[in-house]
Structures are given as structure tokens and as C-alpha cells.
Amino acid sequence: MKGDKLKRLAIGTSLGFLAACIDVSPMLLRGMDLVAISTPFLFWIVTGFMISAVRLSVHPALKGVTVPMLILLPQMIPLSQKTPTHLPVILTITLFLGAFLGWVIEWACRRYAPGL
């Protein structure tokens, strides 16, 4: 049973890494500095971990939207003052990538860690 929980967390973290690569790849192509890229990269890794760890009785895509939005909430306050034009882009990416991540994590966990 404990191994299944760890497997679930590993699946979530691995898929969060994949989501991070998807989100960061356009930034790398534009030549942005590594400090600016590291924040969204780590955000998606932590989000994948949290989605797999949190138990919500909702559709996986809704859980995939709720968790990253809650994690993003404290960062949105300084972002809204510093670069308010980036907020719609960040929220849109978080909405779609989060929903997809939530669905894929749940699918992978049911397939590879069925005990949970």
C-alpha cells in the first residue's frame, strides 16, 4: 500500500516535469534567462506532486485546475503590479495545462498504481 502511494507521487512529479518542459520550451526558444525560466519550471513540478497528493472528490481535470490556481494565487499579486499584461497568458496556460495534467495524472495512477 505504501509503495502505491509513493508510486502515485512519483507519477505526479514525473508528469509535472513533463508539463514544466512544455511550459518552459517557448521561453527557452526566446532566449530568456534561467532565473525567469526556473520559476514556472519548479511550479509545474510542485503542481504535479500536489495534484497526485491531494484528494478532492471532483473530476480530475477540475482538480488539475484548482490545485495550480491555488498555488499560483500568492504569485499573482506581485505579478499583477509588475507585469499586468502577462496575467491573462499565465492564467490561460495554467488553466489548460493544469486541466490536462490533472486528467493525465489520474489516468496514469489508475493504470500504474491501481490500489489507490
Give residue-wise pLDDT tens across range 36-58.
899 999 999 999 999 999 999 99
Secondary structure (DSSP) of 71-98: HHHHHHHHHHHH-GGGHHHHHHHHHHHH
Q: What's the CA gap between 7 and 3, in Å, rounded? A: 6
Q: Is the pTM of this model over 0.75?
A: yes
Give residue-wise pLDDT tens across range 78-97.
988 998 998 999 999 999 99
**Cα–Cα separations (whole angstroms), residue 85 to 37, 75, 81, 82, 105:** 18, 14, 10, 9, 31
